[in-house]
Amino acid sequence: MASLVTLDAILAQARLAISDAIGKGTPVLDFLDKIGRPYKGKSLSIPVYTADPTGIAAVAAGGNYPAVGDVTPAELTVPWAYALARFNIDGPAIEAAGSDFSQLKDAVQNESERLVRAVNRRMNRWGTSGRTVWGFLNERKNDTDKLWEMSGDVAKLAADIVLNAGPVQCTFIDMSDYSTIGNNEVSTADAATGLITVDGALNTTGVASDYGVAVVFSDDATYNNEPRGMYELMGVPTYYGVDRTTAGGGGNALLQSNVITIGVAAGANQRGEPTLARIEALMDLISERTRGEAVIDTAFVHARQIAGLKALLQANTIINVSVDGKGPKDADAGLSGFYHGGVQYLPDVDMGKGLIVLADSSRMKTAMLRKGDFVNDDGNGPLYQSATADNVQGLWKKYYQLFSDAPNYMGALVGLEFPGAGDGTT
């Protein structure tokens, strides 16, 4: 049977490739890796300004300086999330390989590929619907025990209903002021249609006509250890310890994100096809609330919706461009992602169906205390013989968190049609 020294030597050859492959390979993970930066400390304390300084005035010639004025920043407390994964090769596989280096290498390679796939899938999903906000409602109605249209990770909600063996408790948040409009059980969720059954009365008619409603999972601490996802950054009322609820005139409006619906008409406000006007309305709202400072450069959409958006935004597979004034030249616009108006539209299978998420990448951060890698704390190599099972194991881990120091620089358009979508009852 091969020794741990031999297995460590084989893993050492593959270790760099594994580390490079984990956390990359899909648009969301590539984006989060690109904006990653190291931080230290048990948690992060991030100052955010919720108003402009007041020491500014117009004065007459020779007049006095304006009065001293400043704004005390709010402090975001950003805790670390811990992603851990086990690497293991069972004893019989090692025994069968004997001292055959090639067979051992194949065993390590196979387990490495399995680990990469598993970790990437989980972390990619956390990047969208991590922790407690799993999506948004778009309808305007006052109903009891009826179907509602949800855009986001409906599959996660459906899985938790099965795990809970019954309804799960959710809080519904008005995205116009982040006030709570309901605490209800959700008894069914259908990922194919995007429909959920909200038990009891839920009234969204008082939500401002432009805005959506966040669906926040609230009856179990199971998901509180997950890294925050993009929906969490947009939809949770208490943002890293700072209340951003503005109902009744309070709160910190500059920390609010922009989640609007595809339809604004009175009534059911059911799903609709994406329109250039509503995408522009979201862009304009973000620009207005950031005084034109936000530069939206990235849009995420579910892979099943990219074709319709391409058709809408008139993105052809071959476009005609001018390069350094020497054009026109043909350029491949790509069969998956594409640019429109300076915004890169990226398809991702873990982005929820029925919504588009827009972001200014300069204001989003992936904070990293430990970049993902195998543990080798004792210097004897990352692999060890399990004390409780007939296998050799290794531990891969990453300490990180997603946050934005300006969540008003991002937003979502929700309530979009997608293949197979269902209509909520009215």
Instruction: Please give the helix or strand (H or E) that residue 71 lies within, else none.
Output: none
Polymer length of the chain: 426
Weakest mean pLDDT among 9-18, 55-64, 277-286: 9-18
pLDDT at 411 (0 to 100): 97
Query: pLDDT by residue (tens digit) across 274-299?
Result: 989 999 999 999 999 998 999 999 99
Cα angle at 50 between 47 and 51, to 5 degrees?
A: 125
Overall average pLDDT of the 50-74 stretch: 81
Q: Calculate what percentage of the chain has a pLDDT beyond 90.
A: 46
Contact 180, 137 (CB under 8 A): no
CA distance 172 to 196: 13
Q: Which residue has the higher pLDDT, 375 or 287?
A: 287
Q: Which residue has the higher pLDDT, 63 or 6?
A: 63
Cis peptide before 328 (omega within 30 of 0): yes
Q: Which residues pair with 46 in a beta bridge?
A: 76
Q: Which residue has the higher pLDDT, 385 or 267?
A: 385
Q: Please report which confidence band the pLDDT of residue 315 belongs to, taking 50, 70 and 90 as the band edges.
A: very low
Query: pLDDT by residue (tens digit) across 109-158?
Result: 777 788 888 888 999 999 999 999 999 999 999 988 889 999 999 999 99
pLDDT at 179 (0 to 100): 95
pLDDT surpasses 50 at 316? no
Torsion from C-alpha of 343, 277, 231, 79, nearest 10 degrees: 60
CA distance 180 to 175: 9
Q: What is the overall mean pLDDT for the chain?
A: 84
Name every residue whose Cβ is closer than 8 Å to that of residue 329 and which is 6 or more positions away in sequence: 320, 321, 322, 323
Name every residue whose Cβ is closer than 8 Å to that of residue 113 and which is 6 or more positions away in sequence: none
Overall average pLDDT of the 371-386 stretch: 74
C-beta neighbour count of 196 within 10 angstroms = 24
Q: Calculate what percentage of the chain has a pLDDT beyond 70.
A: 85
Classified as helix, coil or strand, 320 is: strand
Out of 2.40.10, 3.40.50, 3.40.1340, 3.30.2400, which CATH number does the structure's domain 4-50+70-129+365-401 have? Answer: 3.30.2400
Tokens at residue 74, please?
Answer: 């709010």
Classified as helix, coil or strand, 321 is: strand
Overall average pLDDT of the 383-393 stretch: 77
Q: Which residues pair with 198 in a beta bridge?
A: 146, 186
Query: pLDDT by residue (tens digit) across 63-91?
Result: 888 888 777 788 899 999 999 988 887 77
Phi, psi of 276 (to 5 degrees): -60, -35
* β 133-137/213-217 pair status: antiparallel
Phi, psi of 142 (to 5 degrees): -125, 95
Weakest mean pLDDT among 201-210, 303-312, 322-331: 322-331
Q: Where are the domains of the chain?
A: 4-50+70-129+365-401
Q: Please report which confidence band the pLDDT of residue 318 belongs to, taking 50, 70 and 90 as the band edges.
A: very low
Overall average pLDDT of the 399-420 stretch: 94
pLDDT at 323 (0 to 100): 54
pLDDT at 22 (0 to 100): 74
Task: Please tell me the pTM assigned to this model.
Answer: 0.88
Q: Please report which confidence band the pLDDT of residue 48 belongs to, taking 50, 70 and 90 as the band edges.
A: confident
CA distance 172 to 387: 46
Q: Please report which confidence band the pLDDT of residue 314 belongs to, taking 50, 70 and 90 as the band edges.
A: low
Q: Please report which confidence band the pLDDT of residue 317 belongs to, taking 50, 70 and 90 as the band edges.
A: very low
pLDDT at 189 (0 to 100): 97
CA distance 259 to 265: 16
